[in-house]
Amino acid sequence: MISLQPRKGQDAAQGLQIRNFTAGYPKRAVISSLNVPKLPRGQITVLLGPNGSGKSTLLRSLAGLNRAQGEMILDGHDLMKMPFAKRAEQVVYLPQSLPAGVHLHVLESIIVAQRASGGFAHQAQTTSQVMELLKLLGIEHLALRYLDQLSGGQKQLVGLAQSLIRQPSLLLLDEPLSALDLNYQFHVMDLVRRETRKRNIITVVVVHDINIALRHGDNVLMLKDGQLIADGKPEEVITAESLAKVYGVRGRIERCSQGTPQILIDGLVATPTI
């Protein structure tokens, strides 16, 4: 297994490490005794795996929303031993969709998110910060629209703004691109990568498009049946062998004319005849 290594000059105590982590539901564990090498600050880690492999369960459990046991060490401190409210000051989780029926302006909803995390800046300063963030996301024109009037993709972008305004140490994004078109998929991942580096935070994101992991990820965790199959740099983890083992497909990784690696699927792995 390939191990993640912190960047040179990085404080050895900085980062997130998951040890002996078991998570799931009262009568069924989805993830059992998971150990993840340290995820460095300032980098994006992409969670890959087929449906039902435990990706969303892992994110929800790290955020304290699912039952879990084990250690979750952030910068030397075990978040599992913290009260939920204290953990929420450092860990922000963005689900696949925002709650329905919320009748707030976009601007109001982001200000509420900022105040919920302890950001009690002056109203004018807060509004200015929110508008700057909306502009970065390309949705400043939605500031005075109501959340329940937005499309699914627009809501995802607002949810990302709500998450970033809270200044997390650990940002957990569960399929943030699922309702976005190609333009916004690239735009959002490029923005998340820049903000992750600028803020020196740890970002863990679930995606289904493996090419996004190859292009935008710094690290990859590949899961199957709640177990960690491989971890490391995208081009080291995403191989023909791992694609066959985890996804059951015959694939290959080739470089386009600009040198960017991309995955091509040729078919399914043959199954033995019974």
Average confidence (pLDDT) per 10 residues, the chain, 274 residues:
42 86 90 94 97 95 94 95 92 86 88 75 71 94 94 92 94 94 93 95 96 96 96 96 95 92 90 50
Please report the pLDDT score of residue 124 as a whole number: 58
Please report the pLDDT score of residue 273 as a whole number: 46
Report the Cα 22 to chain-centroid distance in Å: 19
Please report the pLDDT score of residue 2 as a whole number: 36
Task: Give, in order, the Cα–Cα distances in Å from 244 to each of 47, 237, 270.
Answer: 17, 12, 10
- What dotted CATH number matches 16-244? 3.40.50.300
Please report the pLDDT score of residue 7 as a whole number: 43
Residue 149 is encoded by which pair of tokens?
Answer: 């009037």
pTM, two decimals, is 0.90
Task: Give, in order, the Cα–Cα distances in Å from 274 to each of 10, 50, 271.
Answer: 53, 24, 9
